[in-house]
């Protein structure tokens, strides 16, 4: 089993690495001996995480990347290839929601601006597709690799108010399945594409929905979420790491095209 889960000296690229969840993923892959390219929206934040990983004995470089700009992605790929010479693992973690694309007491569905909807769709779907194009090309030349997209439980059961994000993450699931088949049939069955669908994690992007800004208390929405999560708590970044390592390693060598819920039982509970 140790051999199956071994990812030592493999090269991982993680977009959205300066966020809470993907930052912990980067640290874990590095702890397990992978060489990690951490990509964020600014060089400063990416370098800060890379320095932290290197300081704990890992091997990391920081990349400033705009996942909606293919030239930016190609430049990042060139840096990774110069530093490490290959790409074994790609985590498409860049994504998020926009308050301007979320129904609220102050914003009805009918008034959500098109540019806010487009921003959410582009960041989550287009950003994942473009990144897979650029780094997946390296995997095709190698004949092997593991791509892990970050989806959401919203993709299975769309949540009220989060209109664009729910639809965008459903698109991620579809793209994951499509790409898994495409790579296997056209290029190599050893290039696998899967996704992780986190349940409810308290992050910067959803804090405004779950914590009352004035009191710091859970909102009514937060209470509903916890009431419909059989394990009775939010997830922590560490809860994603076992699934991440499984999908990144040869332990999942015959697994492709799946979306794995890590949700504390939320998707299994009917509410009664």
CA 185 to chain centre: 25
Q: DSSP assignment, residue 217? A: P
Q: Are the C-beta atoms of residues 225 and 200 closer than 8 Å to each other?
A: yes
| DSSP category for residue 2 | T
Query: What secondary structure does DSSP assign to 127-169, as a single string?
Result: HHHHHHHHHHHHHHHHT-EEEEEE--GGGTSPPTT-HHHHHHH
Rounded distance, CA 60 to CA 75, Å? 17
Based on the residue annotation, tell me whether 165 is a catalytic residue of this protein: yes
Helix axes 43-55 and 20-31, enclosed angle (nearest 10): 30
Q: Which residue of the set 84, 156, 165, 234 is catalytic?
A: 165
CB-based burial, 7-43: b 16+ in 10 Å, e otherwise? beebbbbbbbbbbebbbbbbbbbbebebbbbbbbbee
Cα 91 versus chain centre, distance: 6
The angle at the Cα of 138, spanning 41 to 165, to the nearest 5 degrees, equals 40
How far apart are alpha carbons 62 and 48 in whole angstroms?
8
Say which residues have a Cβ less than 8 Å from residue 168's Cβ, sequence separation at least 6.
95, 120, 121, 123, 124, 125
Please give the positions annotated as active site. Answer: 165
């Amino acid at each position: 089993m140790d051999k199956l889960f071994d990812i030592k000296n493999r090269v991982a690229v993680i977009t959205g690495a300066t966020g809470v969840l993907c930052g912990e993923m980067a640290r874990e892959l590095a702890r397990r001996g992978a060489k990690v390219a951490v990509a964020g929206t600014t060089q400063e934040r990416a370098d800060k995480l890379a320095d932290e990983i290197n300081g704990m004995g890992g091997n990391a470089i920081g990349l400033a990347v705009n996942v909606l700009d293919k030239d930016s992605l190609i430049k990042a790929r060139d840096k990774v290839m110069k530093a490490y010479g290959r790409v074994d693992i790609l985590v498409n973690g860049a994504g998020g929601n926009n308050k301007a694309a979320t129904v609220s007491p102050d914003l009805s569905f009918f008034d959500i601006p098109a540019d806010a909807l487009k921003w959410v769709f582009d960041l989550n779907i287009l950003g994942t597709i473009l990144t897979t194009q650029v780094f997946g090309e390296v995997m095709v030349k190698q004949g092997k690799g593991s791509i892990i997209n970050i989806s959401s439980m919203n993709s299975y059961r769309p949540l009220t108010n989060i209109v664009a994000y729910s639809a965008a993450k459903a698109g991620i699931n579809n793209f994951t399945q499509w790409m898994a088949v495409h790579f296997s049939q056209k290029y190599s069955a050893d290039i696998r594409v899967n996704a992780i669908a986190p349940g409810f994690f308290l992050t910067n992007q959803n804090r405004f929905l779950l914590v009352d800004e004035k009191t710091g208390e859970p909102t009514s929405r937060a209470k509903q979420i916890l009431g419909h999560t059989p394990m009775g708590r939010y997830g922590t970044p560490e809860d994603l790491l076992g699934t991440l390592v499984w999908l990144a390693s040869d332990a999942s060598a015959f697994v492709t095209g799946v979306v794995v819920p890590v949700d504390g039982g939320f998707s299994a509970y009917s509410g009664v």
